[in-house]
Every structure is written in structure tokens, then in C-alpha cells.
């Protein structure tokens, strides 16, 4: 029973550190985050941070992974609300744009994580996203709903368009307006894939 309580405490400490770091990184950015302030806000020592995450960079990786997982769940939920495969795919793309252009995701996932964590982090995320898109495109092709092309090549093009659109909208002077324009432009872009019925 004693070890279970200790394990729960370690999980709680980790969760508090993640929450504190996410608030700090999301509001002020990675470079401006001060570890002593972050750990004080979490109610833990700096040693706890090193124990759970190794260093500030390890903490950023954990925050980015947690935020990515939340966004993946949001996207899956949005996709699942539409029963037909083609509208569901389009909804998935729209949900991605909406999720990654929030100020928190913009700061952590689009700016700081790629800059701090480097090419390996970016490429791993790209592989996962491209794989998920390619899988859906293959199914849509098999169902005769969209034009045939190499699914992975097409997935890379769509992924690139989504990421570029998200970065543009997030960095625009009026982000909400730019996001609306990006979402509007996404429709004819994707509809160009569709086979006429």
C-alpha cells in the first residue's frame, strides 16, 4: 500500500509539472520560461523536474507529446462525428487546422518544439501524420471516392498544405480571419481529389 501511495504521488508530481510547464510555455514561450518559477508554481522542487524529465528540453518534449495526444483525440472525435468517409476525412483536416492554430498549440507545437527539439522530433511527427492521412486516402481510393495516386505522396502534399496553412493562419495579424480563409480554401483544394459521381 505504501508503494502505491508513493507511485500515485510521483504521478501527481509529474502531472503538476506538466501542467505548470504547459501554462508557462504556452503563455511566455520556452526560452522565457524560468525553471525555478515553473517548479514553484507546480509546488515541487527542481530536483523533481530533473527526476521526471531530465531537463528543460525533456520537459518541453513531454508537454508537446501530451498536447499532440490531446489534439489527436480532438481530431479523432471530430472525424468520428461524420459517418460518411469522405466528409469525415475533410472534417479531420478542418479539425487539425482548428486545433493547431490555438495560441497554446501555435507557441508550443509550431514554434518552440521544432526549434528546440530539432529535426528528429519534426520528422517523427510528420511520419505519424502522413501515415494517418495515407491510410485514409488509400481507403477512399479503394471505395472509389477519390482519384487514384500514390497515397503516401498525396498524403505528404496534403500534410504540407495543412501545416503551411496552420502556420500562416497562426502567425497572421488577424489569426481568426486567416483561419477562416484557410478553412474556406481547404474545401476546393480537397474537393479537387473527388471523383465525379
Residue closest to 74 by CA, chosen among 102, 93, 96: 96
Q: Are 60 and 21 in contact (CB under 8 A)?
A: yes
Cell of 52: 521526471
pLDDT score of 154? 98
Q: What percent of the chain has pLDDT over 70?
A: 95
State residue 131's pLDDT score.
97
Write out pLDDT tens, residues 63-85: 999 999 999 999 999 999 999 99
What is 60-197's CATH topology? Tetracycline Repressor; domain 2 (1.10.357)
Q: State the fold for domain 1-54.
A: Arc Repressor Mutant, subunit A (1.10.10)
Looking at residue 9, what is its pLDDT? 84
Any idea what DSSP says for residue 146?
Answer: B
Query: What would you measure as the largest C-alpha separation in the chain, in angstroms?
Result: 65
Q: What ranges in the chain are assigned the alpha helix state H?
A: 2-28, 35-42, 46-53, 56-80, 85-100, 103-105, 113-142, 151-171, 175-191
For the chain, domain boundaries: 1-54, 60-197
The answer, yes or no, to whether residue 3 has pLDDT greater than 60, is no
If DSSP codes are grouped into helix, strand and coil, which group holds residue 194? Answer: strand
Amino acid at each position: 500500500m505504501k508503494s502505491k501511495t508513493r507511485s500515485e504521488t510521483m504521478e501527481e508530481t509529474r502531472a503538476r509539472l506538466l501542467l505548470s510547464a504547459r501554462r508557462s510555455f504556452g503563455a511566455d514561450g520556452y526560452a522565457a520560461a524560468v525553471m525555478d518559477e515553473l517548479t514553484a508554481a507546480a509546488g515541487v522542487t527542481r530536483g523533481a523536474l530533473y527526476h521526471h524529465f531530465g531537463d528543460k528540453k525533456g520537459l518541453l518534449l513531454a508537454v508537446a507529446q501530451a498536447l499532440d495526444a490531446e489534439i489527436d483525440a480532438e481530431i479523432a472525435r471530430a472525424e468520428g462525428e461524420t459517418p460518411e468517409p469522405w466528409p469525415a476525412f475533410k472534417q479531420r483536416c478542418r479539425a487539425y487546422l482548428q486545433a493547431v492554430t490555438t495560441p497554446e498549440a501555435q507557441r508550443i507545437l509550431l514554434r518552440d518544439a521544432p526549434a528546440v527539439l530539432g529535426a528528429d522530433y519534426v520528422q517523427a511527427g510528420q511520419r505519424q501524420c502522413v501515415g494517418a492521412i495515407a491510410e485514409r486516402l488509400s481507403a477512399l481510393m479503394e471505395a472509389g471516392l477519390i482519384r487514384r495516386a500514390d497515397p503516401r505522396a498525396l498524403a505528404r502534399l496534403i500534410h504540407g498544405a495543412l501545416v503551411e496553412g496552420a502556420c500562416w493562419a497562426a502567425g497572421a495579424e488577424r489569426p481568426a480571419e486567416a483561419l477562416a480563409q484557410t478553412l474556406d480554401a481547404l474545401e476546393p483544394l480537397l474537393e479537387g481529389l473527388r471523383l465525379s459521381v
